[in-house]
């Protein structure tokens, strides 16, 4: 039987990213299955011009067969979701969709288990695990970042036109659990902030050499937090490194009382506005060119209220009101509704029924 992915199709010439980038997150299973066609049909004739597609997700397994030696050695090719990756990327390009490769870096339980010398170790022996039971690799270890960059180079060769790195950080865990983590690659007195900065420098150098945008996903709280939150991410460092920084400013992820809202999840306009205002202000204070702010917006339900199109549009409108016109919608299942996106060249609605503007500080 003819297997299109065994043929060395030449990669299409790289094209610059659209401006603005308006994307949907597409998980590996959706990209490799029939849902890809459904998502392409959904995006047709709308403002959506990009898909963010998992190349390596937080399981450590790859979406398509890789020739990167580390990937082959650890068995990352054993749960393939898209064997005809070149054909699928060509479908995106034919429909005018900018293909962005998402590569998870530090949360890689497969790599940690197969290369324990690259993993976070437990002070009591063996691998360290987060509170959900997942092993992580050591972000102080240069080899971890180099592996991600090697996967990026392969993705570009296959036709991806932009690289987006996620989990460019240390685990988000309480101090008691972090105290049991042993980082063998850590230099004396080296901080988590320095570890992330050095890792990003590796990614930046290697990704820019590929001729594609270098973008990173970061915690939403980085726009407002004054320290690195123990994970190594500081806003000023991030926007000084990448072409675009994607803070995950999901209203459901903010604690009650944050920004003065008693129930942040019910205030999509207000939370996005306050979070992005903080990021914009901090970037401007640097007094030089900084990364584009391209937020991840919530297109899923986590607690009340159930998120419908009006809640998603409120977030998009809030960003647009601040001049932030690029965004990515995140739904872990890659399920989206037509009402969440608008026809091409149609302005963002001034108001959406059922969702208040959420004036900063307002409470329900």
164: domain CATH number?
3.20.20.80
H or E element: which one contains 126?
A: none
Q: Per residue in 35-62, is it b (16+ CB within 10 Å) or e — as a string?
A: bbeebbebbeebbbbbbbbbbbbbbbbb
Of the candidates 282, 8, 34, the one whose C-alpha atom is nearest the C-alpha of residue 159 is 8
> How many structural domains compose the chain?
1
| pLDDT tens by residue, 42-63 | 999 999 999 999 999 999 999 9
Which residues partner with 216 through β-bridges?
A: 165, 245
Question: Could you tell me how far CA 160 lies from the centroid of its own chain?
Answer: 15
Q: Ramachandran region of residue 127, left (φ > 0), alpha (ψ -120 to 50) or beta?
A: beta
pLDDT value, residue 345: 55
Concatenating the DSSP letter of every residue in 217-250 gives EEEGGGGT-SS-TTTT--HHHHHTT-SEEEEE--
pLDDT value, residue 6: 41
Contact 89, 158 (CB under 8 A): yes
Average pLDDT across the chain, whole number: 92
Tokens of 323: 């001049």
Is residue 141 assigned to a domain? yes
Is residue 347 assigned to a domain? no
Q: Using the 8-state DSSP alphabet, how is residue 115 labeled?
A: -
Is residue 253 assigned to a domain? yes
Quote the domain boundaries for residue 281.
4-10+20-340
In this prediction, residue 13 has a pLDDT band, given cuts at 50, 70 and 90, of: low
How far, in Å, CA of 56 to CA of 79, rounded? 11
Phi (first) and psi of residue 327, to 5 degrees: -165, 165
Is residue 346 assigned to a domain? no
Is residue 355 assigned to a domain? no
Average pLDDT over residues 155-172: 98
Q: What angle do CA 253, 259, 260 make, to 5 degrees?
A: 115
Is residue 348 assigned to a domain? no
| pLDDT tens by residue, 64-122 | 999 999 999 999 999 999 999 999 999 999 999 999 999 999 999 999 999 999 999 99
Tokens of 291: 């990364």
Sequence-separated (6 or more) residues with CB below 8 Å from residue 93: 12, 99, 159
Helix 309-321 vs helix 268-285: angle between axes, to the nearest 10 degrees?
Answer: 30
Is residue 351 assigned to a domain? no
Model pTM score:
0.91
Is residue 269 assigned to a domain? yes
Tokens of 205: 């150098």
């Amino acid at each position: 039987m003819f297997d299109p992915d065994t043929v060395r199709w030449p990669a299409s010439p790289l094209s610059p990213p659209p401006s603005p980038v308006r994307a949907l997150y597409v998980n590996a299973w959706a990209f490799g299955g029939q849902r890809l066609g459904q998502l392409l049909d959904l995006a047709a004739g709308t403002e959506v011009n990009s898909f963010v597609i998992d190349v390596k997700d937080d399981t450590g397994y790859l979406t398509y067969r890789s020739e990167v030696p580390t990937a082959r050695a650890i068995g990352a090719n054993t749960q393939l979701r898209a064997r005809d990756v070149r054909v699928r990327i060509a479908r995106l390009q034919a429909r005018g969709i900018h293909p962005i490769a998402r590569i998870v870096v530090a949360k890689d339980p497969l790599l940690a288990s197969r290369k324990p010398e690259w993993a976070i170790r437990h002070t009591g022996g063996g691998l360290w695990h987060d509170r959900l039971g997942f092993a992580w690799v050591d972000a102080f270890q240069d080899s971890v970042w180099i592996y991600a960059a090697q996967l990026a180079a392969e993705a570009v060769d296959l036709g991806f036109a932009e690289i987006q790195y996620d989990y460019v950080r240390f685990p988000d865990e309480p101090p008691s659990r972090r105290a049991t983590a042993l980082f063998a690659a850590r230099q004396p007195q080296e901080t988590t902030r320095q570890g992330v900065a050095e890792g990003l420098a590796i990614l930046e150098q290697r990704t820019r050499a590929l001729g594609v945008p270098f973008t990173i996903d970061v915690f939403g709280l980085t726009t407002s937090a004054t320290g690195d939150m123990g994970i190594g991410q500081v806003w000023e460092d991030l926007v000084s490194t990448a072409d675009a920084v994607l803070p995950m400013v999901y209203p459901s992820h903010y604690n009650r009382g944050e920004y003065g809202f008693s129930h942040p999840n019910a205030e999509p306009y207000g939370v996005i506005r306050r979070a992005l205002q903080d990021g914009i202000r901090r970037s401007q204070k640097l007094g030089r060119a900084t990364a584009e702010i391209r937020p991840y917006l919530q297109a899923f339900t986590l607690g009340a209220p159930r998120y419908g199109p009006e809640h998603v549009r409120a977030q998009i409108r809030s960003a647009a009101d601040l001049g932030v016109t690029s965004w990515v919608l995140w739904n872990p299942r890659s399920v989206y509704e037509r009402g969440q996106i608008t026809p091409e060249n149609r302005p963002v609605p001034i108001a959406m029924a059922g969702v208040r503007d959420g004036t900063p500080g307002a409470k329900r």
